[in-house]
Amino acid sequence: MLSACPRETEVKELVELGQWPQACAPELRAHVDACRSCKQFALVAATFRSARAEAIAEIKLPPPGVLWWRAQLRRRNAAVEKIGRPILGAQIFALAINLVLAVAFIGWQARHGLSWLTWFSSPASSAQAASLHLEALWSPELFSSTLSSSIANPLVMIPAIATLALLGGVAVYLASEKH
Amino acid sequence: MFWESILPNPLAGAAQAVAAQPVMDDEVFAGFYERSARSLWAYLARTSGDPALAEDLMQESYVRFLTAPNPPSHVADGEVACRRYLFRIATNLMRDHWRRPRAASIEDIPENFFAQPSDASQSESRMILGPALAKMRPRERQLLWLAHAEGYSHHEIAEVTGLGSASIRLLLFRARRKIARLLEEGNRGRRQAC
């Protein structure tokens, strides 16, 4: 049976005002003595109210400034973490791209016999490379062959990979920051 | 043109996150804290049975209240709503604490934990209510405290505990009947001892 006694509200008001049982009308008191629901309610409510009043007097509160400061610190740390998250994501992405491209490049070069390694070992070829012939860059007939050969040239490939990774990192940072 | 419009955005977003306005300013918070902390501590201490834990959870509740992303506004929603929200945070923290596996070493337990408080230091209502509450389930203690010590309605208790309003009525009815029986037994025992 869940239905409460209609007079329970009167008892509740008296308990909340701290007037139970002193300021209770004799007629209501007689009802509470006879009604099991009201009797239980009065006992429980008065005990809890009294326990609350004692507990409230018992505690020595820490100053609110400490809690305010802790909250500010936590908010700031959360904000810093929020800023750092996209940057970390971008760094990981850039590193991953670099690794993938490096592995792909090495694999591709390995299939072509790593011919460019001789470029480092031969001093004569290094001297040739140092002397730059600008007219060769503007020659249209040489452009198509230069383009195809530049793919195999590490001096072109490595900066290209680095630029790609850098731009990829920036793109990921901007995208994740919006989230 | 492009870099000015693209690059400042992440920095502006970060600055906004850092400088976002708190729920209330420090003076308003101090007032709210003075008016609500004692009742919050009483709720936590009596339902957990551990005053030290109650103090930790109380402090954590206020910190979470101040750092919450969408808390009720002190101005628009009023102090009652803020208080209810605070009790909700505390209830969730207590529930998380109870769910956590206990792995405390004996050295971690404070010295006075095992000391039985003397009758002189304990009030009559606490001596009767303490053992009775110890025999109740944590959820029942919370419901009884919120209903009878704080005077919350069923709807408000539902908001604080996250339970349905309809189930609050039934659970509270059962819990009240159970604790009334325990209190009556306690009273009888004390009368016989006297």
* Under 8 Å between Cβ of B160 and B87: yes
Q: Determine the average pLDDT of the residues in B23-33.
A: 88
- The pLDDT score that the predictor gives to residue B93 is 95
Distance from CA of A11 to the nearest CA of B (A): 12
Rounded CA-CA distance B125/B179 in Å is 13
User: Which range has highest mean pLDDT (A155-164, B81-90, B118-127)?
Assistant: B81-90
A28-37, A163-172, B34-43 — which is least confidently predicted? A163-172
A 10 A CB-CB count for B106 gives 5
Q: Determine the average pLDDT of the residues in A68-78.
A: 92
- Chain B positions touching A20 (Cβ under 8 A) are none
A3-7, A102-106, B120-124, B147-151 — which is least confidently predicted? B120-124
A113/A168: higher pLDDT: A168
A127/B125: higher pLDDT: B125
B178 Cβ under 8 Å from any chain A Cβ: no
A14-18, A148-152, B114-118, B130-134 — which is least confidently predicted? B114-118
Picking from A137, A33, A62, the residue whose alpha carbon sits closest to that of residue B41 is A62
A117-134 pLDDT, tens digit per residue, is 666 666 555 555 555 555
How many Cα atoms occupy the beta-carbon half-sphere of B54 within 13 Å?
21
Find the helix or strand (DSSP H, E) in which B109 lies. Answer: none
Task: Please answer yes or no on whether A56 and B39 come within 8 Å at the CB atom.
Answer: yes
Residue A114 has pLDDT above 80, yes or no: no
Q: Determine the average pLDDT of the residues in B75-90.
A: 91
Instruction: Report how far Cα A103 is from the mean position of its chain's Cα atoms.
Output: 31
- Chain A positions touching B185 (Cβ under 8 A) are none
Burial class (CB in 10 A: 0-12, 13-18, 19+), A174: middle
- Chain A positions touching B39 (Cβ under 8 A) are 52, 56
- The pLDDT score that the predictor gives to residue B1 is 43
- The pLDDT score that the predictor gives to residue B110 is 53
The chain A residues in contact with chain B (CB within 8 A) are: 2, 16, 40-41, 43-45, 47-52, 54-56, 58-59, 61-62, 64-65, 67-68, 70-72, 74-76, 78-80, 82-83, 86, 173-174, 177
pTM of the model: 0.67
Mean pLDDT value across chain A:
78
Share of chain B above pLDDT 70, in %: 75
- Chain A positions touching B183 (Cβ under 8 A) are 43-44, 47
- The pLDDT score that the predictor gives to residue A155 is 72
Burial class (CB in 10 A: 0-12, 13-18, 19+), A136: exposed
- The pLDDT score that the predictor gives to residue B11 is 46
A 10 A CB-CB count for B38 gives 18
- B151, two tokens: 């005077």
Q: Determine the average pLDDT of the residues in A139-167.
A: 68
A86-97 pLDDT, tens digit per residue, is 888 888 888 898
Residue B4 has pLDDT above 50, yes or no: no
- The pLDDT score that the predictor gives to residue B75 is 76
Q: What band does B59 get if pLDDT is binned at 50, 70 and 90?
A: very high
Mean pLDDT value across chain B:
81
- The pLDDT score that the predictor gives to residue A146 is 56
